[in-house]
Structure 1
């Protein structure tokens, strides 16, 4: 008997505070505004992100074009994160490392500094995970996070993803330094409990 595979296609996912819609070049100005480094240069969303290798070379316009090229190649499916109050794009999230035959995807997200405390990350994870397991039929969703990115590690552990280990010095960041990544996952058998947990977190946060 043939094994069914995931069929990943662009879709719009709507939550209470955000909407995830297929990324287009029209989102570039909003994303550039939301995700650029502040003038003091002391804070940045790009320090630990692999996408900085593209962003630092060609800017947000080039970054968006790169993600759309990956979508055309079948490896990624990017979304713009739209803040429903303003209607503006405040970040992106995407399925990446897509393996349709094995029913495995990875989720990668970056959100502007000014919107990281607005619940966008939590709700975007909920919408992406729910779509992956309930609609796409994923068996496994994984996350890889720089081991020095304590805020992101705290956030992913808060949603009850399982830490599997560390891939040591497996990629280079934009400044040429090696990155070790903590690997987390959620399985389809774990999703029902994680879903309830996420819904409770969002309810307490007022999302």
Structure 2
């Protein structure tokens, strides 16, 4: 199913991953900015690896992957997905990674508003979970600003190199949080940026 999500601002769309952006994804997934909080991702990527990853994610029934694309220039801003989808328990995880040149420009807020809207309103999820490194202060700050609740920390859950580990923070948003707190906060923020 090819699913495209229109964002509130209209500056970007969330589209199914396309071969047209594989080379840009290689660059994005090989830069320190994108990798610093993704220790489980390969530190280098080839076009073949990115192509295989795109095809695997498109065929995964428990994942809805997107590329975040500007509507004016069709430039790749980043990637996002609903994953670990459990329809019986009505839960899923959300993940996002942006290209450095688009960070702190409101693109993540717009994309995450659209993807969570889809999760709660179309997929009828009861909860959405975000997992991020304890070191990812920008994402943790964004989640807390949005009204997500820190539900726990998995100590030394993600290996970093051969001798280090980082903690994984788990944030949750319930459907009531989405309607009463998160959605209004994000919409206010997006509307201010317009």
TM (normalized to structure 2)? Answer: 0.88
Match status 1:198 vs 2:186: yes
Match status 1:14 vs 2:31: no
Name the SS for the 2:154 alignment partner. Answer: strand
Which of 167, 170, 174 is residue 183 of structure 1 equivalent to?
170
Name the SS for the 1:166 alignment partner. Answer: strand
> What is the alpha-carbon distance in structure 1 between the residues aligned to residue 147 and residue 55 of structure 2?
30
Unaligned residue ranges in structure 1 (runs of 5+): 1-8, 38-42
Q: Which moved further from structure 2: 135-144 or 115-124?
A: 115-124
> What is the alpha-carbon distance in structure 2 between the residues aligned to residue 60 and residue 190 of structure 1?
40
CA drift at 1:31: 2.7
CA drift at 1:165: 1.3
Which of 131, 140, 145 is residue 118 of structure 2 equivalent to?
131
Report if the CA contact (8 A) 1:35-1:45 is conserved: yes
Give every structure 1 segment of 4 or more consecutive aligned residues whose post-TM-superposition deviation is greater than 4 Å: 33-36
Which of 12, 22, 26 is residue 32 of structure 1 equivalent to?
26
Matching residue of 2:35: 46
Alignment length (residue pairs): 190
> What is the alpha-carbon distance in structure 2 between the residues aligned to residue 35 and residue 112 of structure 1?
9
Matching residue of 2:17: 23
> What is the alpha-carbon distance in structure 2 between the residues aligned to residue 154 and residue 104 of structure 1?
23
CA drift at 1:144: 0.5
Name the SS for the 2:66 alignment partner. Answer: strand
Match status 1:117 vs 2:109: no
